[in-house]
Homo-oligomer: A and B are copies of this chain.
Amino acid sequence: MAAPSSNTCGLTERSIRERVPPLLTDLYQVTMAYAYWRTGRHQEPAVFELFFRNNPFGGGFTLFAGMQDCLLFLRSFHFTDEDVEFLRSVLPPATDPAFFQFLRGLDCSGVTLRAIPEGTVVFARVPLMEVAGPLAVVQLLETSLLCLVNYASLVCSNAARFRLAAGPKRKLLELGLRRAQGPDGGLTASRYTHIGGFDFTSNVQAGFQYGVPVAGTMAHSYVTSFTSLEEVLPKTLVAVNGDSTPVDIILLTKGWLSRVCELLGSQPGKIHEGELAAFLSYAIAYPQNFLPVIDSFSVSCSGLLNFCAVALALCELDYKPLGVRLDSGDLCRQSLEVRRVFRLCSKHFSVSAFDSLTIVGTNNITEQSMAELNEKENEIDVVGVGTHLVTCTQQPSLGCVYKVTQPLCSATETRAKVQSSLQTLHPRHKRLQEPDSYTVALSEKLHTLVTEIREGSSNNSNFLLAN
């Protein structure tokens, strides 16, 4: 079978059928559908609204997401023979066999979905989606729609909060795949945190499937897997421009390391050779994309010095190193020290590339620690967030609900309502020929309220616009 094609617009109908099969629902939806069918009410028109009762995280807003998947789910919704046979095995033996024929023929051709556009700011108790159609069908859709909207909206809102906390300039990287509720949870997180304001994801499949920009360089395991410079292979690199003679990059780096140690007054003896070997190997593999993690051992005694030495060697060969990643300890304090050293090197060795190096910080970042980055002095350009972003630690569920909105009156009741409604009209409006028209005007109370609002609006127009 061919793999699904790269599709930045999201999942196809076929793949959503596999991801959200119609059996992915609570059993009571099926038992209720049968009871509606049995009593002849299954085709009754019904309208359900999907909303939530409180903004998550104690916040003042929510972002609505997941609608596109809901639409694909509705389009693909149908029970296969195998689905129906399984339901037959689960429902009571006395269930009328004709019900299973009814299920087999079901689809959402009679269902209308009205929804707020994906990515819109929404508030509690406001309907996000209105699902109208035959009662039994819209009942069967409930759990799947809630499942598709709940987490997507929650994690998108969480990402938007992290973005607000970070401010508009700092770049944000999502790296929560390994901490999400399994593969699909991780993919959903990468997709909707990008929509919510993150710039990159570490999740390659999210890049493949949804076009989210991907980023990442190395883990500590890469650094610690090297022990000696003898492991560096190849040992040469060719300069970007000009001379094509391979340069002994190890020798070149060793030279720079001495100069850096001298500049900073550091002890070469404390430098970890394995770390230098790891950085060199990576730089030889990716001379234009050098961004190592520098705190596997000690930032100030080893990692920063090794980075500077390799980066200066790369600069000498006209490559442009990217920066460093800090993954532990006090990120703010360390970033200041790292930036100070970068500026010193830039000035002392006249390497302008060192003025624009990126410092990435990743260390169990919470919304609160993200907000603190705006209060504490630091030089962090990119922040990576994993666990607290994707698991929404502060509140791991949005709690959307799906409720019937119509009184669903019987014909008898509606017929009675027609009569009582007509009785409120004066006979002159009920004349069948040349009736008086009914004047619609504001009551005195409503008129006063509108006047007050108009007066208030001149002082507080933003409030009115926003509401």
> Interface on A for B, CB 8 Å cutoff?
1-3, 5-6, 14-15, 18-21, 23-32, 34-36, 38-41, 46, 48, 80, 82-83, 86-87, 90, 92, 94, 135, 139, 142-144, 146-148, 150-152, 155, 175, 177-189, 202-205, 207-208, 214-219, 221-222, 224-225, 227-228, 230-234, 281-282, 284-289, 387, 390-393, 396-397, 399-400, 402-404, 407-410, 412-413
Assuming the contacts A217-B31, A218-B35, asked whether A224 and B404 have C-beta atoms less than 8 A apart, the reply is: yes
| Contact call A412/B230, Cβ cutoff below 8 A | yes
Smallest CB separation, A327 vs chain B (Å): 12
Residues on B with C-beta less than 8 A from A178 are: 26, 142-143, 146-147, 150, 400
Residue numbers in B under 8 Å from A188 (CB-CB): 181-182
Of B25, B151, B281, the residue contacting A180 (CB under 8 A) is B151
Contact check, B399 vs A289: say whether CB atoms are below 8 A apart. Answer: no
Report the Cα distance A6→B82, complex, angstroms: 8
A26-B175, A28-B219, A182-B184 are contacts. A86–B208 as well, Cβ < 8 Å? yes
How far apart sit A254 and B207, CA to CA, in the bound complex (Å)?
Answer: 63
For the complex formed, measure the closest distance between the CB of A413 and the CB atoms of chain B, giving whole angstroms: 7
A58 CB, nearest partner CB in chain B, Å: 15
A180 nearest CB neighbor, chain B only:
B181
User: Are B83 and A26 in touch, CB under 8 angstroms?
Assistant: no
Q: Kindly state the separation between the CA atoms of A189 and B397 in the bound complex, as whole angstroms.
A: 14
Contacts A178-B150, A392-B396, A410-B228; A202 near B27 (Cβ below 8 A): yes
Q: How far is the CA of A41 from the CA of B146 in the complex (A)?
A: 48
> Given A19-B183, A90-B214, A185-B182, are A26 and B203 also a contact pair (CB < 8 Å)?
yes
